Amino acid sequence: MSIILCRRRLLGTGALGAGGLILSGCDKLNANPAFRSALIEAGSWHEGAQRALGSGALAREYSEADMSPNFRVNGNTNPEDASYKSHAATDFAGWTLSVDGLVKRPLALPMTAIKAMQQRKQITRHDCVEGWSAIGQWQGPQLGQILSMAGLLPSARYAVFHCADRFGSSPYYESIDLVDAFHPQTILAWEMNGQPLSIGHGAPLRLRVERQLGYKQAKYVMRIELRDSLAGLFGGKGGYWEDAHDYQWYAGI
């Protein structure tokens, strides 16, 4: 009996010790570059699985009755940039979207041209990485239409969105691959819930890439750059949050 009691005490002490080791050990592993990149690698298999199982799937679209009564704003809600502010003062009448990089015909599209293109209107769910969701209606031309106008060079692999907002000294940017760029629900929205996009929601143009999380929905889009690689651009990970905090570049999960 005393042997059993000893064993019990030993196991109890062991469990407590193991608990402490787990906690400090996890933080050490979290900071260990090899372990961390192994975790990131395993996480990226979700991208492969989702691409293999449903690269053409459509995100669910909702009816007007399903919409959030109050769609909250998030991230940067009022860019400080002087040039942006002067555009805002004139309701973005002089805003142009540049499309350049690996394209046959670089474009400079004024807002009137973007609004005159064939439009797609969709009521979709915006899923923030933090966990909340809001449902709103978005309207704008399909990104694929704009990219086709510019004509992609065969080496183009990614569409990079350069934005007018910044965190500290880092400009906001995001990128998607061509599967998402030519997905029918990927649009450049200038209208939300039947109104021109508000500044808080990304006026005058924001990306909607519906099968990914909120941080991919770049606001204040000034320029779309077609690239063959994300390396060499800012932190090289394809987006502001990806560079700054190791958010997943593929934000379908």
Partner 1 sequence: MPETETALPKTASAEAAPPAPPATTPQSGDLVRRHRLSTRLWHWANALALFIMLMSGMMIFNAHAHLYWGEFGANPDRNWLTLGTGQLNAFPGWATIPSNYSLADARIWHLAFAWILLIGAPLYLLWSLVNGHLWRDLLFRRGELRPSHIWHDIKEHARLRFPTGAEALKYNVLQKGAYLGVLLVLLPLIILTGLAMSPGADATTHVSALFGGRQSARSVHFIVAAGFALFIVVHLVMVVLAGPFNEVRSMVTGWYRLPLDKGAK
Q: Would you give the end-to-end CA distance of the chain in angstroms?
A: 52
Cα 51 from Cα 33, distance rounded (Å):
27
Give the residue with the Cβ less far from partner 1, 17 or 106. 17
Regarding 184 and contact with partner 1 (CB under 8 A), the answer is no
Cα 9 from Cα 15, distance rounded (Å):
10
- 110: part of which helix (H) or strand (E)? strand 107-110
Give the residue with the Cβ less far from partner 1, 45 or 169. 45
Amino acid at 86: S
Site string for partner 1, 118-137 (x = CB under 8 A): -------x-xxxxxxxxx--
Number of residues assigned to the chain: 253
Give the residue with the Cβ less far from partner 1, 38 or 116. 38
Regarding 64 and contact with partner 1 (CB under 8 A), the answer is no
Instruction: Assess contact for 125 and 131: CB atoms under 8 A.
Output: no
Q: How many residues bind partner 1 (CB under 8 A)?
A: 55
Query: With CB under 8 A as the contact rule, which of the stretches 7-15, 152-160, 169-177, 221-229 interacts with partner 1?
Result: 7-15
Give the residue with the Cβ less far from partner 1, 132 or 167. 132
Sequence-distant (≥ 6) Cβ neighbours of residue 166 within 8 angstroms = 76, 79, 80, 81, 172
Dihedral (Cα; 99, 105, 111, 114), 10-degree rounding: -100
Regarding 66 and contact with partner 1 (CB under 8 A), the answer is yes
Give me the residues that bind partner 1 (CB under 8 A), please. 4, 7-8, 11-12, 22-23, 26-27, 30, 36, 38-40, 42-43, 45-46, 50, 53-54, 57-60, 62, 66, 68-72, 125, 127-135, 210-213, 241, 245-248, 250-253
